[in-house]
Structure 1
Amino acid sequence: MNQTRPAVWLMLAIVLVALNLRPSMAAIGPLLSAIRGDIPLSFTLASLLTMLPVMAMGLAMFFGLSISERLGEQRTILLSLLIIGLATLSRLFIDSAFELIVSAIVVGIGIALIQALMPVLIKSRFPDNVALCMGVYVTSIMGGAAIAASFAPLVLAQAGSWRVGLAIWAALALIALLVWCLQPAQTVSRVTQRESFITRRRAWLLAIFFGLGTASYTCVLAWLAPYYVEKGWSEQNAGLLLGVLTAMEVISGLAVPAIANRSHDRRAILAVLLMLIIGGFCGMILAPAHLVLLWPCLLGLGIGGLFPMSLIVALDHCDEPQRAGGLTAFVQGIGYLIAGLSPLLAGLIRDRLGNFEGAWWALTAVMVIMLLLVMRFDPRHYASHLPGPD
């Protein structure tokens, strides 16, 4: 019991921190029409509000662990929450697209510092339940997105200001900040020499797989609500639909890693998740007015499971927490740089073709490619693909 209580409180603190890692991006889509009515934004320029923080997350991944080793895990997370909270609150005073984009980049840096550290923390503190705890953590990330997507339009309706709808999520950072202050200060163990994964082909395969999967997540997060607004939905209903999708992500993010925890071979589960995403995109393109809730539910179930499973497969390759943390930092760094391009490319396609269907077809093709990659993840060969340093 004495050991269980600190572990439960640590997991609760991790959940509260994770809730802060997506609202700054998830609130944009449902409020985009109101923002564009006040600030001149093309769809291509609007895509930067999702693309740039994701790209900043990718770049910051490469020095996130080094910062956490210097500051210690507690101060790193407190600093990150402070960055996220202040950048989010600053949106109350934004008057231009440039200021909005800068706030998005700063938030992305704060998010990256946390996301680089968390896999190491979970691998070291919960070694017997890595898949389950990673599922709770990643699900909490998507839960934050669900909350913001669902309630940002309601805040807009009540406050009459999209700025309030974007800035109110700073309150989540304040709550997490206060709870994390109560955690005992501990430092992530220092390493004298960090392994470089840049020459490891398997590390690149894992990074590409994570990046392509996350591309579907970031693109849906950015453009699902605007897509349905163009189909005649109100901003509030489109936001609620995105909320339904992200709620499905939460359910899948909790259930799938728990199921996957029973076997070290994740390939069948990955294939099912990718088929769900393909079905969701095809339905949304071919029959958007029929079975309206089914297609976002399929997308949410697929994306929600794929996101944590992509990280869990990377963690499966390394037994030692620091090495696993280094690998997942590399995978997320490269992966987020890849994923960050998807909202921009979708915005360009929308501006060129006048609709989002071309972007959804492109993402469907990407999911088919990922199905082919899944067969490479045979756990019996992990040691040969990614042997430890000499």
Structure 2
Amino acid sequence: MENIRALSRPAHWLMFGIVIVALNLRPSMAAVGPLLSAIRGDIPLSFSLASLLTMLPVVAMGLAMFFGLAISRRLGEHRTIVLSLLIIGVATVSRLFLDSVAELILSAVLAGIGIALIQALMPVLIKSRFRDNVALCMGLYVTSIMGGAAIAASFAPLVMAHTGSWRVGLAIWSLLAVLALLFWCAQRSRLPAQDAKSSGNASFFSSARAWLLAAFFGLGTASYTCVLAWLAPYYVEKGWSEQQAGLLLGLLTAMEVLSGLVTPVIANRSRDRRLVLMVLLALIMAGFCGLILATQHLALLWPCLLGLGIGGLFPMSLIVSLDHLDDPRRAGGLTAFVQGIGYLIAGFSPLIAGMIRDQLGSFEWAWWSLTGVMALMLLMVLRFNPRHYARHIH
């Protein structure tokens, strides 16, 4: 933390701006799960169809990653973030006027595109502006993403209860985009000019290590997207109220925030991140097993374990990718590739889990499947020896 305190005042303002912007990158998805039963009561939705509200924006995020850096090169960092926040804000506030499944899904996809443009740009910006504090600043950035999810998941049911409308519960998060826009525009003069050139994504399609990193990020994010989409409905099926289930999801995301802050600080002590990654994966596996075997016993423990594991795994997956290359532009291109492929992989996980629920009548088999995926990722972690990075990425 001493390194963070040593940052100049303009750097502090830039980091604070990144935090405010990052708060906007999950509420459009996180608010849906706790309100799903109310939405389904108003608009006919199967669980498979409801999964599209999480799946399609994540897939859109994956596809948009591949042209996100090109857009930022053309428009510049400041204008790209302003455009993205406008897209997210418009998509979110439009939910006040939704009357059909198609309109709800369209708003989710539009928000996903805006989110992707920011997420493609931010690792490049952090790697270039905070070269000596990459792990810590990435931790703050990703933690802020999860913090936005925690706020939306916790308070969306309260907003619905006070207003009597699930549409308001979904749309109110456009206020976060307005706040971020005002702050980001006010700080424009403080942002130093930066070369936005990038080596792009094309050179990484032939790299086996880039595909391994993308698969690792995608499978890890699959656990996040499934939990985001289905944890609250799972507990509602177990007899919890929507508000209780939303607060439980809020507790999980609060643990994600805590882990996202602490884990990069611990990992920053060594360039070898493998032990930290293994501990995080073990926490996730324990959380899923608890959800299945003891849902009503120690009910608060299992979301806490999941949150601690997922919250640390998300930033660490990106940090490991950034570790592979020293040049910020190429590292940014690699993380854009990793996120692009990874989000395409993760995007289908809520749909698969929803189909499992429709066919088998329970989410428990989805949790078992994700436990197996985490075990596979433990084997993948063994490949991330930092002494061999230069050999794998040229």
TM-score (norm 2): 0.97
Partner of 2:99: 95
Is residue 272 of structure 1 aligned with residue 279 of structure 2?
A: yes
Quote the Cα distance in structure 2 between the aligned partners of 1:186 and 1:373: 39
| Displacement of 1:173 | 0.2
| Displacement of 1:334 | 0.1
Partner of 2:375: 368
Q: Return 5+ residue gaps in structure 1 as ranges.
A: none
Partner of 2:62: 58
Deviations along 1:262-282, one digit per CA (max 9) or x if unpaired, are 100000000000000000000
| Displacement of 1:182 | 1.7
Is residue 229 of structure 1 aligned with residue 233 of structure 2?
A: no
Deviations along 1:95-147, one digit per CA (max 9) or x if unpaired, are 00000000000000000000000000000010000000000000000000000
SS in structure 1 of the partner of residue 354 of structure 2 = helix
**Bigger mean CA deviation after superposition, 176-185 or 351-360:** 176-185
Quote the Cα distance in structure 1 between the aligned partners of 2:182 and 2:332: 26
SS in structure 1 of the partner of residue 204 of structure 2 = coil
Q: Which of 11, 14, 18 is 1:7 aligned to?
A: 11
Quote the Cα distance in structure 2 between the aligned partners of 1:320 and 1:144: 30
Q: Which of 299, 303, 311 is 1:304 aligned to?
A: 311
Q: Which of 109, 112, 135 is 2:113 aligned to?
A: 109
Deviations along 1:40-86, one digit per CA (max 9) or x if unpaired, are 00000000000000000000000000000000000000000000001
Quote the Cα distance in structure 1 between the aligned partners of 2:136 and 2:277: 16
Partner of 2:221: 214
Answer yes or no: is the 8 Å Cα contact 1:74–1:187 preserved in 2. no
Q: 1:193 to 1:246 in 2, by over 3 A?
A: closer
Q: 1:193 to 1:223 in 2, by over 3 A?
A: closer
Partner of 1:189: 195
Report the residue type matching 2:280 in the other structure. L
Q: 1:110 to 1:187 in 2, by over 3 A?
A: farther
Answer yes or no: is the 8 Å Cα contact 2:77–2:196 preserved in 1. no
| Displacement of 1:2 | 11
Quote the Cα distance in structure 2 between the aligned partners of 1:219 and 1:355: 14
Is residue 342 of structure 1 aligned with residue 346 of structure 2?
A: no
Quote the Cα distance in structure 2 between the aligned partners of 1:34 and 1:2: 48
Is residue 259 of structure 1 aligned with residue 269 of structure 2?
A: no
Report the residue type matching 1:219 in the other structure. C
Matches within 5 A, 1:134-213: 134-183=138-187, 184=189, 188-191=194-197, 194=200, 196-213=203-220
Quote the Cα distance in structure 2 between the aligned partners of 1:48 and 1:103: 11
Q: Return 5+ residue gaps in structure 2 as ranges.
A: none
Answer yes or no: is the 8 Å Cα contact 1:68–1:188 preserved in 2. no
Q: 1:142 to 1:2 in 2, by over 3 A?
A: closer
| Displacement of 1:187 | 5.2
Is residue 357 of structure 1 aligned with residue 364 of structure 2?
A: yes
Report the residue type matching 2:51 in the other structure. S
Quote the Cα distance in structure 2 between the aligned partners of 1:268 and 1:67: 37
| Displacement of 1:257 | 0.3
- Aligned residue pair count: 387
Quote the Cα distance in structure 2 between the aligned partners of 1:143 and 1:196: 34
| Displacement of 1:191 | 3.2
| Displacement of 1:189 | 1.7
Answer yes or no: is the 8 Å Cα contact 1:58–1:332 preserved in 2. yes
Q: 1:297 to 1:2 in 2, by over 3 A?
A: closer
Among the aligned pairs, what percent are the same residue?
Answer: 77
Answer yes or no: is the 8 Å Cα contact 1:69–1:187 preserved in 2. no
Quote the Cα distance in structure 2 between the aligned partners of 1:186 and 1:91: 36
Answer yes or no: is the 8 Å Cα contact 2:68–2:116 preserved in 1. yes
Deviations along 1:225-264, one digit per CA (max 9) or x if unpaired, are 0000000000000000000000000000000001111100
Report the residue type matching 1:234 in the other structure. S
Quote the Cα distance in structure 2 between the aligned partners of 1:328 and 1:193: 12
Is residue 326 of structure 1 aligned with residue 326 of structure 2?
A: no
SS in structure 2 of the partner of residue 129 of structure 1 = helix
Q: 1:186 to 1:58 in 2, by over 3 A?
A: farther
Report the residue type matching 2:274 in the other structure. R
Q: 1:246 to 1:192 in 2, by over 3 A?
A: closer
Answer yes or no: is the 8 Å Cα contact 2:58–2:343 preserved in 1. yes
